[in-house]
Amino acid sequence: MPKFEEELDVELELQEPVMFRVLLHNDDYTSMDFVVDVLTGIFHKSEEQAVQIMLQIHEKDRAICGVYSFEIAQTKAQQVKQSAKQNEFPLLATIEEDA
């Protein structure tokens, strides 16, 4: 059998994945301590970072908790929803495309 060697000139263009922000929204019922717990537990923020983000949510009605690929952002938002429901809080997490 003859051997064939073929050289392919193919350029692959790699693109960065589209990233998504996970935001937590302020409400009148969710405790500040619970928000800090969510930020440290689900988003792996330090206590200091969590308090700063919680205050931003409180003062500006929402804040970015992290920027992730779509699947991870969606998972984190779902984890917030489940944890809030288990603890009887209406805490809302949304995702939006990062600009």
Write the pLDDT tens digit of every residue in 28-68.
Answer: 999 999 999 999 999 999 999 999 999 999 999 999 999 99
Pick the CATH number of 28-97 from 2.60.40.420, 3.40.50.620, 3.30.1390.10, 2.40.50.140: 3.30.1390.10
Q: Which two tokens stand for residue 3?
A: 């051997």
Mean pLDDT for the stretch of residues 67-89: 98
For 42, other C-beta atoms within 10 Å of its C-beta total 21
CA distance 80 to 98: 19
- pLDDT higher than threshold 90 for residue 96: yes
The one-letter amino acid at 8: L
For 86, what's the count of Cα atoms within 13 Å in the CB-facing half-sphere? 8
Per domain, the residue ranges of the chain are 28-97
CA distance 33 to 38: 9
The pTM of this model reads 0.84
How much is the pLDDT for 59?
A: 97
